[in-house]
Amino acid sequence: MSKLKIAVQKSGRLNEDSMRILKDIGIYIDNGKDQLKASAKGFPVEVFYLRNGDIPQYLKDGVVDVAIIGENVLIEKGNDITIAEKLGFSTCRVSLAVPKSSKYSGIKDLEGKRIATSYPNTVQDFLNKNGVKAKIHIINGSVEIAPNIGLADAIVDIVSSGSTLFKNNLKEVDQILKSEAVLAVSPVLNEEKQAILEKIQFRIQSVLKGRESKYILLNAPNDKIESIINLLPGMNSPTVLPLAQEGWSSIHSVISKNEFWDVIEELKANGAEGILVCPIEKMVL
């Protein structure tokens, strides 16, 4: 049986998050230090550890079949590559920044100015859409230093917390795009490997759904069940079980992790007691 070749970033936060989700979907990789390729245990997968910027071309050429890669890299170097899944981790943004001392009222202020970046195609598209002509200096490495040494008037780079900009006396003034890790697919994937990919996608979807949700259990007086159920739609409907104490029931459901604080406050106001909220490892729909 053919093995599906998955590319991940060689090092860094995206590498760590990629290996974590592979482990969560039951793909265990035994890779030694500085190893560039490793096979999974009990699953037809090989993992290739590659430079992030090289991965789009490897996908196009069919050297690797799929990749866990930042969406921003695909937009820059492989926007014709299909995204099979958005993975929800390693989020960042590609933003425009200028020195803190600079006055900035809008993108038109960069007319005729110099912009340093590792994302020339992304920046050029952004400038074209806004009808601005500027000089782009391509820098591979520490882009933030460019304004401080007089090489550029502004930079475009990935931003997570913004601390690197702050340390280099820069301020974020415009967001070009948002990015997260995605599962990208080679355009030359064959049917046999497509079947393996579909199994992986099923597992990933189950893990991501679990990460987005919380399992909630609570006790409620029977005369409050209807009002509480209206707050807990769950997957289909909440589970209601009678308790040993007469007139009380236990209610079990699933809620979005982004909503559970607001929901819990409403539940308490409607008579719920003994509320227990648990993480969900995986959720198969």
For residue 33, the model assigns a pLDDT of 57
d(CA 115, CA 155) in angstroms, rounded, equals 5
- Its pTM stands at 0.84
Tell me the two tokens of residue 87.
Answer: 């993975």
Q: Is the pLDDT of residue 32 over 60?
A: no
Tell me the two tokens of residue 242.
Answer: 């009678």
In 3D space, the residue among 70, 95, 21, 53 whose CA is nearest the CA of residue 179 turns out to be 70
Please tell me which of 7-16, 76-85, 185-194 the model is most confident about, judged by mean pLDDT.
185-194
For residue 234, the model assigns a pLDDT of 59
CB-based contact 54:78 (threshold 8 Å): no
Q: What is the mean pLDDT of residues 127-135?
A: 96
Q: Taking the CA of residue 276 as centre, how many other CA atoms within 13 Å lie in the half-sphere pointing to its CB?
A: 9
Q: What is the mean pLDDT of residues 112-132?
A: 95
Measured in whole angstroms, how far is the alpha carbon of residue 130 from the centre of its chain?
Answer: 28
For residue 11, the model assigns a pLDDT of 84
Among 51-65, 106-120, 232-246, 268-282, the minimum mean pLDDT is found in 232-246
For residue 140, the model assigns a pLDDT of 84
CATH superfamily assigned to domain 4-91+180-210: Periplasmic binding protein-like II (3.40.190.10)
Mean pLDDT of the chain: 91
For residue 235, the model assigns a pLDDT of 60
For residue 1, the model assigns a pLDDT of 67
Neighbouring CB atoms inside 10 A of 129's CB total 10
Using only C-alpha atoms, what is the Rg of the chain? 24
> Could you tell me what percentage of the chain is helix, strand and coil, using 3-state DSSP and rounding each to the nearest 5?
35, 35, 35
Tell me the two tokens of residue 201.
Answer: 């996608």
Pairing state between β 154-159 and 92-99: antiparallel
Give the pLDDT confidence of 198-224 residue by residue, as tens digits. Answer: 999 999 999 999 999 889 999 999 999
Q: Which fold has domain 92-178?
A: D-Maltodextrin-Binding Protein; domain 2 (3.40.190)
Q: What is the mean pLDDT of residues 224-251?
A: 86
Does 4-91+180-210 match 92-178 in CATH topology? yes
Pairing state between β 154-159 and 114-117: parallel
Strand blocks (E) in 54-160 = 66-70, 82-86, 92-99, 114-117, 135-138, 154-159
Domain ranges of the chain: 4-91+180-210, 92-178, 213-279
d(CA 242, CA 29) in angstroms, rounded, equals 45
pLDDT bin (cut points 50, 70, 90) of residue 82 is very high
Query: Considering the domain 213-279 in this protein, what is its CATH number?
Result: 3.30.70.120
Strand, coil or helix: what is 279?
strand
